[in-house]
Amino acid sequence: MKSKVEICGVNTSLLPKLSGKETTELMRRVKRGEDGAREEFMIGNMRLVLSVVRRFIGRRENVDDIFQVGCVGLIKAIDNFNCDLNVRFSTYAVPMIIGEIRRYLRDNNSIRVSRSLRDTAYQALQARNRLEANSDREPTIEDVAREMNMPLKEVAYALDAISDTVSLFDPVYHDGGDSGLLMDQIRDERNTDEHWTEEAALSDAIDKLSEREKQILYLRYYEGRTQMEISDEVGISQAQVSRLEKNALGRMRKNF
């Protein structure tokens, strides 16, 4: 991957870099439906896909395939992005690209379920259908196990084996152009009053940093870039990136 310059016929070393202002203006042109704006925007943000693909290095899947799937996620992000919200496109697009790649890797998983386990699961489904037909409520897994005269653990294991895994970024409903994700329906027990107080303190500590320091911490800890990648991105040496990162973290600890 480190030596691979061309992916899917695209010379990644020649991909353009868009500034935040250029990205915003070009997205507005895309939403207005201007000719060529969509293709220009996609090419201008392929480096975003490339940065995500690097996280999946070491898997057996072909890098070209993962890159193509990441581009599908980029297209979905372009189609669903709302310019009226005060959110950077990269902040919105990265989770969608990651989700698309993870779904691809999940769907191509070579896990095999034994024949006997599948038979048990299908018998459980039939038993559940029978119970539903004779009752006004949805049967529980305990009801199904009693109907089959089988241990609860075996029935639960069999049904779990044939169920599809899901991603937190899978949509559970669509409202016009907006999608509700599974992660939006899950309660986070960590979001207590104490947690929000710490978040506010952390946000205040970040606000006291310079724009350059904020940019470096965002690229380093949100996008997962290396110091060398950040030095190429912002145009300074790796040593300067390291020094700015260290100073920023030190000031944040003091303020926090």
Percent of the chain with pLDDT over 90: 4
Query: 12 and 96: one domain?
Result: yes
Query: 159 and 221: one domain?
Result: no
Judged by average pLDDT, the poorest of 15-19, 54-58, 82-86 is 54-58
Give the residue from 176, 159, 156, 179 showing the smallest Cα distance to 168: 179
What is the per-residue pLDDT across 32-68, written as a single tens digit (0 to 9) for each? Answer: 888 888 888 888 888 888 888 887 776 566 777 888 8
The pLDDT-based confidence of 168 (bands split at 50, 70, 90) is: low
Judge whether 84 lies within some domain: yes
The pLDDT-based confidence of 173 (bands split at 50, 70, 90) is: low
Whole-model pTM: value is 0.42
DSSP states of 217-251? HIIIIIS---HHHHHHHHTS-HHHHHHHHHHHHHH
| CATH code: domain of residue 237 | 1.10.10.10
pLDDT of residue 149: 92
Q: Does 121 score more than 60 pLDDT?
A: yes
Judge whether 126 lies within some domain: yes
- What range does the domain containing 137 cover? 111-186
Judge whether 1 lies within some domain: no
* More confidently predicted of 215 and 166: 215
pLDDT of residue 85: 77
The pLDDT-based confidence of 185 (bands split at 50, 70, 90) is: low
Q: Does 1 score more than 50 pLDDT?
A: no
Long-range contacts of 62-68 (CB under 8 A, 24+ apart): 63/1, 63/4, 63/7, 64/7, 64/8, 65/104, 66/101, 66/104, 66/105, 67/7, 67/8, 67/10, 68/8
Judge whether 220 lies within some domain: yes
Q: Does 169 score more than 70 pLDDT?
A: no
Q: Which residues contact 10 (CB under 8 A, 6 or more apart)?
A: 46, 67
| CATH code: domain of residue 68 | 1.20.120.1810
Query: 170 and 214: one domain?
Result: no
